[in-house]
Amino acid sequence: MSPSAGGLVVFLLSVQVIQSQDGWGVNYQQTDVCAAKGSTVEIICDYTHPPGIRPSDIKDRFWFTKEKDGEPVNLKTDSEYSGRVTYGCYSKECHLIITDVRESDSAEYKLTFMTNKPGEKYTGSPGVTLSVTGLQVKVRRSDSTWLELTCHSSCVLSDHPEYYWYKNEKYIKTGSSLLVSSGSTDRYFCYLRESWNHRSLAVYGPQRPSVSVSPSAEMLEGDSVTLTCSADANPAASYTWYKAHRTSDPRLLSEEPQLVFSSIQSSDSGNYSCTAENQLGRKTSDFISIDVKYGPQRPSVSASPSAEMLEGDSVTLTCSADANPAANYTWYKEHEDSPRASGQIFTITDFTAEHSGNYYCEAQNEMGRSNSTLLLITESAVDRTTMIIHITRWTLVSVMLIVLLLFCLWTRKKKAVSSTTEPHESREAVEMDLHPEYEDLSDMAAQREDPEEQEDQV
């Protein structure tokens, strides 16, 4: 059941005080008033004046809290109270009504009189001290699952104050405390029955944090950069910063609302997130990407297959440099002004002696430029000697093959000629075997010329 609207809040905290001066006096009904923020307060007093003063002699009566140039400032003319103050006097009783009181209204209020006589005035002092307090909800962890919410005021408003609890603008119960589940995303606040025009601030867990970057323009290496995390939460959230890593858990960087890079480096590029947390819950922001721009580092160059070439070969030169944004590449030969090629890869086809020399590449982006060291490309003398040796070796092999072929042909021809005289040679061999006493061919020839032997043969 929802409570009905309440009325004024005025609490008497001490006995009335009577001031008197030559017949003048102000009796305030209370010296201290405690009121809830947003409520309406009424301060009442009565006064006395000397017997010779007629009511018509009092030309002005008003309430004030501060002075200007030694003179009291009428509350009705004070811009801080505009539209919220009414007062009046009937007979010898005066009252002051302040609506929708604020914490800034906490002050000492006095009534002052001015008569028709120049300079004649009287102020009832000390006055009435007003303390305005706002309702607060205190959060205390009951256990790992539940939180206890308590409606609280800094001053005692009554012996038995009655509070009403709301959840997301809907009334749920009456009482000074309320149990809610930990991690709840709902909003809770309380009302004081005597101060229906005002309620406490709602308590709730953090909403998803937002991240801002300053400066928001392009980040250059060496700049000062600040990341700020903020989240709507009550009680106020605490913050934690993380940097994402591909191969490991996010790395904790800071436990402050701001993450400051006094001189940001290329290694600081990456994805960042922050976490906001209070007693009621925890939320993490989306990742924000930090991209630090920087000029090319010194490029590295390589040759494939090698830097020593044979005439007619092809060689591929490759240049690479760390840069953001990515670098553009230009190739030069030493002592030449005009570039030989552009692009990260430079290929020399049909290598000749004219291509030998020192080469370097230049890497350039909008942040700057950098040149590589020299790369010497030469025609290989060792390989040329090896080639000559190979040519000589194959020439010798060819000559040997030709000689061998000619020898074989000669041998075959000789065998063919020898085959036509083979029977005659056989008979001579037989005769040599039959006449071992002949020691040489001349004896054999003489024997053959013997006439008797010739006759016997006939």
Percent of the chain beyond pLDDT 90? Answer: 36
Q: Which residue has the higher pLDDT, 265 or 154?
A: 265
Worst-scoring range by mean pLDDT, 168-172, 316-320, 426-430? 426-430
Query: Which pLDDT score is estimated for 156?
Result: 62
What confidence tier does 445 reach under pLDDT thresholds 50, 70, 90?
Answer: very low
Residue 321 has a pLDDT of: 94
Q: Please report the pLDDT score of residue 60 as a whole number.
A: 84
Per-residue pLDDT at 454:
43
Which candidate, 113, 131, 126, places its Cα nearest to that of 18? Answer: 126
Q: Which domains does the chain have, with CATH numbers?
A: 17-133 (2.60.40.10), 136-199 (2.60.40.10), 210-293 (2.60.40.10), 300-379 (2.60.40.10), 422-457 (no CATH)
Output the pLDDT for position 130. 92
**Neighbour tally for 193: CB within 10 Å:** 16
Q: For 425-452, what is the mean pLDDT?
A: 45
Rounded Cα gap, residues 182 and 205, in angstroms: 9
CA–CA dist 146, 184 (Å, integer): 10
Give the mean pLDDT of 204-219.
Answer: 90
- pTM of the predicted model as reported, rounded to 2 decimal places: 0.57
Where is 457: in which H helix or E strand? helix 451-457
What is residue 3's predicted lDDT score, i.e. its pLDDT? 41
pLDDT confidence tier of residue 159, bands split at 50, 70 and 90: low
High-pLDDT (> 70) share of the chain, %: 79
Q: What is the pLDDT of residue 444?
A: 44
Per-residue pLDDT band at 88 (split at 50, 70, 90): confident
Q: What confidence tens digit (pLDDT) does each residue in 363-407 have?
A: 999 989 999 998 888 876 544 444 444 445 556 667 788 888 887
> Is the confidence at residue 265, as pLDDT, over 60?
yes
Say how many C-beta atoms besides its own lie within 10 A of residue 301's C-beta. Answer: 20
Is residue 438 very low, low, confident or very high in pLDDT (cuts 50, 70, 90)? very low
Closest CA to 226 of 189, 186, 274, 178: 274
Does residue 283 surpass a pLDDT of 70?
Answer: yes
CB atoms within 10 A of CB 219: 20
pLDDT band of 284, cuts 50, 70, 90: very high
Q: Show Cβ contacts of residue 372 under 8 Å, excluding neighbours closer than 6 positions.
A: 298, 299, 300, 301, 319, 321, 360, 361, 362, 363
Looking at residue 7, its pLDDT comes to 39
Q: What pLDDT is attached to residue 446?
A: 47
Spell out the alpha helix ranges (H) of 300-448.
381-418, 422-434, 441-448
Least confident of 34-43, 323-332, 379-388: 379-388
Q: Is the pLDDT of residue 439 over 50?
A: no
Contacts of 303 (CB under 8 A, 6+ apart): 315, 316, 317, 318, 375, 377
Per-residue confidence (pLDDT) for residue 339, from 0 to 100:
93
CA angle 225, 229, 232 (to 5 degrees): 155
Confidence of residue 16 (pLDDT cuts 50, 70, 90): very low
pLDDT at 18: 44
Looking at the predicted structure, is the pLDDT value of residue 436 above 90? no
pLDDT of residue 354: 86
pLDDT on residue 309? 75
Residue 149 and residue 139: Cα distance in Å, rounded? 5
Q: What is the pLDDT of residues 349-362, one digit of tens each?
A: 888 888 889 999 99
SS3 197: strand
Overall average pLDDT of the 15-20 stretch: 44
- Asked if pLDDT for residue 91 goes beyond 90, the answer is no
Query: pLDDT: is 421 or 167 the higher one?
Result: 167
Place of tokens 């392009």: 218
In which band, very low, low, confident or very high, does the pLDDT at 419 lie, cut at 50, 70 and 90? low
pLDDT tens for each residue of 212-262? 999 887 899 999 999 999 999 999 999 999 998 876 678 889 999 999 999
- What average pLDDT is seen over the chain? 80
pLDDT of residue 458: 32
Give the residue, 395 or 29, on which the prediction is more confident: 29
Q: What is d(CA 86, CA 410) in angstroms, rounded to the nearest whole number?
A: 148
